[in-house]
């Protein structure tokens, strides 16, 4: 491709990207800047600048601290269980015969089933109690499908010659997986982990329908409940402050994950 043709192609790509960029600015960036503004004022009627007062009040609120703790617990407990289970199932499917490998497609079905139908089944299985186990199990069951598909695809791309060479050098099954499979799978594992962390912040609808209340048991009270309750009360400054902190938390987790991935890649 000549230089002029390459520049023409790049120019076309920029024009094609323009509608998406405008949509992101109009529907995401500009509203989020307004959300940040609301987090620094007293209320939506008396727009008095109060600085970090809303943030200090929020961190001193016991319900916000409870919501933050429960959301982080879901990340640090539910996500690792989901990723490890997905890796295990991916290995199992690789060792099955070809006709049975199609079973992994069935793991996508939970993402396609209407949430209300899932909740009816979960209410029968667990009843409504004060434990967070139903929400953790629902999160894992609903989101494990995409993780299994991604891990299975990554496993299928690993070169068999590498394992044959390792076996010729006397490597055992466990050592081969620790020193060959795991390093080669790390980029996929990091990606799946970050994806499931983002999904963990989307479990509010299922949790809300399961408990059937704006005020669930303490173990199920998450950041989404906290922000939803302030939305119902029209308390926009606290709602905006909670949204900013949640966004910052997600960005921080993603940034740490990307940094760790680059460190291992290098």
- pTM beyond cutoff 0.75: yes
Residue 139 CB contacts under 8 Å (≥ 6 apart), including other chains: 74, 78, 82, 199, 200, 203, 206
CB 139 within 8 A of CB 203: yes
**Domain 63-265 architecture:** Orthogonal Bundle (1.10)
What is the pLDDT confidence band of residue 266, given thresholds at 50, 70 and 90?
low
CA-CA distance, 177 to 101, in Å (whole number)? 21
More confident residue, 6 or 220: 220
Q: Is 137 helix (H, G, I), strand (E, B) or coil?
A: helix
CB 88 within 8 A of CB 123: no
pLDDT at 169 over 80: no
CA-CA distance, 200 to 143, in Å (whole number)? 9
CA–CA distances in Å: residue 23 to residues 18, 26, 33, 191, 222: 9, 5, 15, 26, 30
Q: What is the number of other CB atoms lying within 10 angstroms of the CB of residue 206?
A: 19
pLDDT digits (tens, 9 = 90+) for 121-153: 888 888 766 788 888 999 998 888 888 888 888
pLDDT digits (tens, 9 = 90+) for 30-68: 888 988 998 898 887 778 888 888 899 888 989 899 999
């Amino acid at each position: 491709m000549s230089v002029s043709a390459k520049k023409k192609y790049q120019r076309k790509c920029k024009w094609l990207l323009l509608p998406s960029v405008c949509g992101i600015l109009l529907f995401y960036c500009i509203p989020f800047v307004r959300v940040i503004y609301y987090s620094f004022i007293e209320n939506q009627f008396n727009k008095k600048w109060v600085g970090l007062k809303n943030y200090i009040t929020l961190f001193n609120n016991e319900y916000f601290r409870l919501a933050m703790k429960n959301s982080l617990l879901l990340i640090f407990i539910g996500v690792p269980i989901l990723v490890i289970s997905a890796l295990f199932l991916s290995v199992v499917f690789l060792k099955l015969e070809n006709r049975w490998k199609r079973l992994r497609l069935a793991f996508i079905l939970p993402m396609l089933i209407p949430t209300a139908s899932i909740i009816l089944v979960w209410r029968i299985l667990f009843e409504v109690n004060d434990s967070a186990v139903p929400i953790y199990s629902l999160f894992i069951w609903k989101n494990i499908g995409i993780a299994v598909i991604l891990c299975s695809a990554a496993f299928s791309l690993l070169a068999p010659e590498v394992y044959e060479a390792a076996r010729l050098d006397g490597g055992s099954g466990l050592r081969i997986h620790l020193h060959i499979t795991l390093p080669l799978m790390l980029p996929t594992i990091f990606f799946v982990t970050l994806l499931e962390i983002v999904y963990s912040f989307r479990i509010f609808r299922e949790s809300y329908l399961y408990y059937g209340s704006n005020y669930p048991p303490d173990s199920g009270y998450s950041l989404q409940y906290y922000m939803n309750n302030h939305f119902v009360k029209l308390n926009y400054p606290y709602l905006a402050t909670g949204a900013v902190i949640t966004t910052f938390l997600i960005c921080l987790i993603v940034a740490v994950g990307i940094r760790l991935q680059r460190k291992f890649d290098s």
